[in-house]
């Protein structure tokens, strides 16, 4: 006789109820993210209302762009610091946003370069993209990491070497 602590859902029922595929549910089980509330004697997964609440947490954290490993670690914490997670994710997403904006700028610059009706040399195009990428990375490093004194010393060293030659 089964202990009836609420409704039990087969994996198919749970998938329909939550809108998550059975394949995803099996994967979450395999990686330890969302274990079924029980397995039948034939090894079938059964879920309950607590499983729904756990899945909702997972989906919220996934929406915040956490990896499954990060979600797993977050759920293991006895009292997860959700505000800290939000702040960290906001910072990471801002960095991704900057990276996407940089890539879009490079694409725009390349588009302007190749809009000439002449045939484009693809090797030259790849060199241009690489140069633009490195220019953006250098500028970002200078703006974010280097203090004025480091930049000035680097610039004066380059200027002195140039004058000596």
* CATH number of the domain residue 37 falls in: 1.10.1660.10
Residue 4 lies in a domain: no
Q: Examine the fold and report which residue of 76, 101, 130 is the final residue of a domain before the chain moves on.
A: 76
Looking at the structure, tell me whether residues 43 and 60 fall in a common domain.
yes
Q: Do 94 and 127 sit in the same domain of this protein?
A: yes
The span from the CA of 132 to the CA of 109, in Å, is: 9
For residues 32-39, give the mean pLDDT.
93
Number of domains, the chain: 2
Flag whether pLDDT at 165 surpasses 60. Answer: no
**Residue-number span of the structural domain to which 92 is assigned:** 82-164
Can you tell me the distance from the alpha carbon of 162 to that of 155, in angstroms, rounded to the nearest whole number?
11
From the CA atom positions of the chain, what is the Rg in Å? 27
Average pLDDT score, the chain:
77
Q: Is the pTM of this model over 0.75?
A: no
- Position 138 in a domain: yes
Question: Rounded mean pLDDT of 57-62?
Answer: 88
Q: Answer with the one of 76, 111, 131 that is the final residue of a domain.
A: 76
Q: Of 27, 58, 76, which one is at a domain's C-terminal end?
A: 76
List, as one string, the DSSP characters of 48-60: -HHHHHHHHHHHH
- pLDDT value at residue 70: 87
Which are the contacts of 14, defined by CB distance < 8 A and separation ≥ 6? 20, 25, 45, 47, 51, 52
> What's the pLDDT at 159?
47
Q: Which two tokens stand for residue 54?
A: 């756990």
Same domain for 40 and 69? yes
What is the tens place of the pLDDT at every residue in 61-111? 888 888 899 888 888 776 657 777 778 888 888 988 888 888 888 778 777
% of the chain exceeding 70 in pLDDT: 68
CA distance 65 to 96: 11
Q: What share of the chain is helix, strand, coil (3-state, %, to 5)?
A: 70, 5, 25
Q: pLDDT at position 45, please?
A: 94
Question: What average pLDDT does the segment 27-36 reach?
Answer: 94
Structural domain contains residue 96? yes
* pLDDT at residue number 66: 84
Those residues with Cβ within 8 angstroms of residue 66's Cβ, 6 or more apart along the chain or in another chain: 74, 85, 89
46 and 95 belong to one structural domain: no
Instruction: With respect to residue 1, please indicate whether it lies within any of the assigned structural domains.
Output: no
Q: What is the three-class DSSP state of 46?
A: strand
Q: Using alpha carbons, select from 91, 10, 79 the residue that is nearest to residue 48.
A: 10
Please give the residue that has the higher pLDDT: either 131 or 33: 33
């Amino acid at each position: 006789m089964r202990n009836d602590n609420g409704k039990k859902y087969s994996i198919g029922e749970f998938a329909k109820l939550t809108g998550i595929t059975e394949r995803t549910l099996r994967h979450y089980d395999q990686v330890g993210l969302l274990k079924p509330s029980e397995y039948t004697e034939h090894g079938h997964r059964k879920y309950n209302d607590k499983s729904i609440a756990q899945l909702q947490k997972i989906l919220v954290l996934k929406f915040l762009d956490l990896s499954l490993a990060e979600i797993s670690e977050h759920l293991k914490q006895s009292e997860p610091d959700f505000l800290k997670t939000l702040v960290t994710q906001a910072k990471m997403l801002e960095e991704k946003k900057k990276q996407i904006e940089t890539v879009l700028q490079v694409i725009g610059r390349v588009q302007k370069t190749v809009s000439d009706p002449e045939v484009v040399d693809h090797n030259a195009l790849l060199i241009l993209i690489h140069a633009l990428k490195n220019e953006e990375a250098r500028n970002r490093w200078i703006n974010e990491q280097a203090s004025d004194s480091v930049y000035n010393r680097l610039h004066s060293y380059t200027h002195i070497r140039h004058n000596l030659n």
